[in-house]
Amino acid sequence: MNVYSTICPGCNFGCGLYIRENGKPEVDFRKSSPANAGKLCRFGMSLSRLYAPVKSTVDGKETSLEEAAKEAARRISAGKGSAAFLSFGNTTCEELLAFQKVAESYLCTGANFEALPKDAYQTLSVGIPYSEIEAAKHIVLFIDPYEQYPLIVRRLLSARKKGAKITSVWWKDLPLADENIRPADVSKLQLTKDSLVIADFHPLSDIEQVKSVLSLAKNAGAKITFLKPFANSTGAYLLSKDAKQKSLAQLVEDINKGTIKTLFCLESDPSELIPAETLGKLTNLIIQTGQAVTAKANVVIAHEPLYRKKGTLVNNEGRAQALGGTGTGGLDALGIIAGTKFEFNSLHESVKKALGISAVDEFTIPGYDRPAYGAIQASSKPAEAKTALVSVYNPFMWYGLPDDNDFVEVNLNMVKALKLLKGGYIKIKSNGSSLEKRFKVSPVQDNVLLAGRKFGVEKGISTPVEVSR
Ligand code: SF4
């Protein structure tokens, strides 16, 4: 009774696993899972830390889910016209459909669809089956598979075993790549119709970079697939791609301007993506969640964690997966906020209709339309800063879970130029802040520091910095 057959929320790869509640949640391997055949990465093995218990509170005082949801409803309605609704897709399709109804006035899923051509939405939203990756002849990576989407490494190794050539366009040489090209030298990349491009798409994506990879693939007639970071990013994007929505950058601007004063976040910790000084300008931060968050919220509506929920997730391949629980606390809370009752069964029917399926079956990938997109004009890339700290966003970073990688990766040229001492530190200055970090020598691009952890000075993916010993 206390074992849940569920999906890892660490990224949108869709790895199946069991969670056993034994005092705290314990992870077990689920070998029958089609996305990962039971294998899990370090993050998947850390889920008991992610699912730390959380309590409903209003202004710091513990209360019930109902009272917290009622108070949230009062505050949202008092600030009518100045409330925004944010969810990155960390929850079920059924909850996300209900959320869209609540959020009609100002919806943000983190996907900057507004800045992208509409005919590319489907390509951006739903990727290709992993079996097609294994069968590709030439794979081009615009990601670090080891750090960002670890379970894809097995698929890439399998493709390589079958003779695929792997090219990486990244700031560091990747051990599984036959050819390593630096992002600034992308013009050296040779694509053909046999190439398969793997990039990623998320709330911090550089839109010009997204357009650029779409355009490269289009011009060569190559396939392209986008990986995504949240448990149900694909479901969230598929369900909301025709909805009117704002980008994360627009939301930050509107909070800074004071036009948005109340922010309601569904299963999304805003402190990972919105600067603290911006969050500090809100009158009300309301978070509905099933796991502990780091943001200081005025109202926390706490319900069951994801693995105890009833509902559907959609992974990068478009595979619909049932969560193994029975909980509908999230829908109940959204119903209190909307002043209505959300029925699971009717939302589930709408989800199946939107995905074009008659039943949720994780062993069958629905036959999605994958229409070709038109020519895309990508603007030329601005010159890279002389020295930059590049954040390699990985599951630990998206969820604000501390990892043991409290260092930056630099190359030997930087170590020699700065006369860094073995076992010592590198000083990093940026945006008026200064910090000292341990360093690791890796085959990284000149003048780049790679980090798999946030240090508090970052401005997006690439942050200009000054470095010294
Ligand atoms: S690859 Fe992604 S989904 Fe799979 S175990 Fe790791 S974090 Fe979880």
Strand duo 195-200 + 83-86: pairing: unpaired
Best of 39, 43, 397 to mutate for ligand 1, by most ligand atoms within 8 A of CB? Answer: 43
The predicted model gives 217-238 an average pLDDT of 96
- Cβ-count burial 58-95 (b if 16+ within 10 Å, e if not): beeeebebebbbbbbbebbeebeebbbbbbbbbbbbbb
Query: 403 pLDDT band (50/70/90 cuts)?
Result: confident
User: What pLDDT, on the 0 to 100 scale, is given for residue 24?
Assistant: 86
pLDDT > 90? residue 148: yes
Burial class of 137 by CB neighbour count within 10 A (0 to 12, 13 to 18, 19+): middle
In the predicted structure, residue 272 carries a pLDDT above the cut 90: no
* pLDDT tens-digit readout, 409-424: 999 999 999 999 999 9
Q: Quick one: the chain helix, strand, coil %, rounded to 5?
A: 30, 25, 45
- Count of CB atoms situated within 10 Å of the CB of 460: 11
Confidence (pLDDT) at 199? 98
Residue-level pLDDT at 405: 87
Q: Examine the pLDDT at 325 and tell me if it is beyond 70.
A: yes
- pLDDT at res. 157: 97
pLDDT value, residue 158: 97
Residue nearest to atom 6 of ligand 1 (CA): 41
**Global confidence as pTM:** 0.95
Element (H, E) at 57: strand 57-58
| Ligand 1 binding pocket mutation candidate from 18, 28, 33, 36 (most atoms within 8 A of CB) | 36
Residue range 71-95: average pLDDT? 93
Strand order in the sheet with 299-302: 61-62, 57-58, 299-302, 284-289, 262-266, 83-86, 107-108
Mutate to test the pocket of ligand 1, among 6, 11, 28, 394 (most ligand atoms within 8 A of CB): 11
Res 451 pLDDT > 90: yes
Q: What is the mean pLDDT of residues 104-110?
A: 85
pLDDT at 383 over 70: no
For helices 233-240 and 93-102, the axis angle rounded to 10 degrees is: 40
Atom of ligand 1 nearest to the CA of 14: 3
pLDDT band, very low/low/confident/very high, at 432 (cuts 50, 70, 90) = confident
SS3 362: coil
Packing angle, helices 329-338 and 93-102, rounded to 10? 10
Give the angle 384-390-395 at the CA atoms, nearest 5°.
Answer: 145
Q: Which residue has the higher pLDDT, 2 or 137?
A: 137
- Cβ atoms of 115 and 207 within 8 Å: the answer is yes
Question: Looking at ligand 1, which atom is closest to the CA of residue 43?
Answer: 7
Average pLDDT of every residue of the chain: 93
Q: What pLDDT does 101 receive?
A: 92
55 pLDDT band, cuts 50/70/90, is very high
| Residue that is written with structure tokens 């997109």 in the block | 373
For residue 149, what pLDDT is reported? 97
What single DSSP character describes residue 38?
Answer: T
Go through the domains of the chain in sequence order and give each one's CATH number: 55-379 (3.40.50), 388-468 (2.40.40.20)
* Rounded distance from Cα 200 to ligand 1 centre (Å): 15
CB distance 223 to 130 below 8 Å: no
Strand spans (E) along 240-376: 262-266, 284-289, 299-302, 310-314, 320-324
Tell me how far the alpha carbon of residue 409 is from its chain's centroid. Answer: 23
The conformation of residue 404, written as its DSSP 8-state character, comes to S
Here the tokens at position 140 are 């081009």
In terms of C-beta density within 10 A (0-12 exposed, 13-18 middle, 19 or more buried), how is residue 250 classed?
middle
- 75 close to 263: Cβ distance less than 8 angstroms: no
pLDDT value for 382 = 59
Question: Which of the residue ranges 44-48, 69-73, 114-118, 456-460 would you say has the lowest mean pLDDT?
Answer: 456-460
> What is residue 279's predicted lDDT score, i.e. its pLDDT?
96
The yes-or-no verdict on residue 12 having pLDDT over 90 is yes
Taking the centre of ligand 1 as the mean of its atom positions, its distance from the CA of residue 223, in whole angstroms, is 24
pLDDT at residue 295 in the model: 84
Q: Which residues contact 175 (CB under 8 A, 6 or more apart)?
A: none
Residue 52: predicted pLDDT: 85
Point out the least confidently predicted range of 64-73, 230-239, 308-317, 395-404: 395-404
Confidence of residue 195 (pLDDT cuts 50, 70, 90): very high
Question: Atom 4 in ligand 1: which residue has the minimum CA distance?
Answer: 15
Q: Which residues contact 54 (CB under 8 A, 6 or more apart)?
A: 289, 290, 291, 292, 293, 300, 302
Confidence of residue 381 (pLDDT cuts 50, 70, 90): low
Tokens 């130029």 correspond to: 417
At residue 217, does pLDDT exceed 70?
yes
Ligand 1 proximal residues by C-beta, below 6 Å:
8, 10-11, 13, 15, 36, 40-41, 43-44, 149-151, 395
Q: Which of 6, 33, 40 to mutate to test the pocket of ligand 1 (most atoms within 8 A of CB)?
A: 40
Residue 4's identity, in one-letter code, is Y
Handedness of CA 287, 290, 296, 300 (dihedral sign): positive
Ligand 1: nearest atom to the Cα of 11: 2
Give the residue among 454, 449, 438, 462 at the shortest CA–CA distance from 400: 454
Using the predicted structure, report yes or no on whether residue 131 has a pLDDT greater than 80. yes
pLDDT at 291 over 70: yes
Is pLDDT above 80 for 136?
Answer: yes
- pLDDT > 70 in the chain, percent: 99
The one-letter amino acid at 402: P
| Confidence category of residue 431, pLDDT binned at 50, 70, 90 | confident
